[in-house]
Homo-oligomer: A and B are copies of this chain.
Amino acid sequence: MERLDTVAIVGVGLIGGSIGLSLRNRALASEVVGVGRDPTALESAIHLGAIDRGTTDLSAAVANAEVVVVCTPVNRIADDVRRAAESAPSGALLTDAGSSKRQIVLAVERHPRSAAVFVGAHPLAGSERRGVDHARADLFDGRVCVLTPTSRTNRERVCRARAFWTALGCRLIEMSPAEHDEIVAYTSHLPHALAAALAAIVPCEWLSLAAGAYRDGTRVAAADAALWTAIFRENRGPLLKALGTLRDRLDVFKYALMTDDEVAIRRWWDQAKERRERFDRELDTPESTDGPLPRST
């Protein structure tokens, strides 16, 4: 990718801040402008080296931008993309970092001006922590980023979005917004919901008998409530389907337990162990405790 001119990052939290750090550390852009609602957070982002300058004025920030990356919570992304599209140069690329895609892309495509410049993206990186203080220049190194172009997406913009996310260190996958949402309902949103269910049902006075399985199984339940409420709402159809699949799977186990069927219990566990080992083998996931899923700020 040739060095970009101005890149505007809308929402400078963990994800937006990490994009800024990565762009600046690699000298991928001549200027990185941060857009946010909280001037103090923008000051922090400048201090941490995530952006060159910050502003609360979205229109002004994107006026000269070659690329605009929207990293706000999923329920605000479509609006922010549309507003940015109104003020950005007609040649700009707009992309986002939202954890759900179907509703965002639908909303963006209702407006020809934003539809013409937007390529939906979801970098699978993040943390249960939030805020620019936890941003890292290497957050995207080796992580998958899903692009979700549709038949209405400008192909030249897809190429540029590919180059942009690749320059940040991502491995790219492309699929439709609906397919993306169906898959992440299983691979990310359901794991978050399960972590929260497990966390809540253990009474406080029993926590001293909780060890590594509870700790790891509930880690992502420490993530931000507002962000996850928005993600669950955006993707509630596919998530309800995933919850149904989980119930069926647990019912197989329950029946095996009720009938004390050693062979069935063991087979049930073996299938899980095999899948989990395949995940470890194939994916060589980063060893840090980061990266449950991207979330924006």
Contacts and interface: CB of A to CB of B under 8 A. Distances in A.
Interface of A: 124-127, 143-144, 146, 173, 180, 183-184, 186-188, 190-204, 206-223, 225-226, 228-229, 232-233, 236, 239-240, 242-243, 245-247, 249-250, 253-254, 257-258, 260, 262, 265-266, 268-273, 275-280, 282-283, 285, 289-293
B125 A222 contact: no
Contacts of A236: 257-258, 260
Nearest to A203: B186
Given A199-B276, A229-B266, A187 B206 contact: yes
Most buried by B among A124, A249, A273: A273
Contact of A262 (B233, B266, B283): B233
Nearest to A265: B229
B191 A292 contact: no
A210 B225 CA distance: 21
A195 to B, nearest CB: 6
A76 to B, nearest CB: 14
Contact of A221 (B125, B208, B273, B285): B273
B193 A253 contact: yes
A206 B225 contact: no
A186 B212 contact: no
A139 to B, nearest CB: 11
Given A207-B187, A257-B240, A273-B196, A126 B220 contact: no
Given A193-B253, A232-B257, A292-B212, A207 B273 contact: no
5 contacts: A144-B208, A194-B217, A195-B217, A210-B283, A243-B254
Most buried by B among A228, A257, A262: A257
B212 A220 contact: yes
A239 B213 contact: no
B214 A217 contact: no
A284 to B, nearest CB: 11
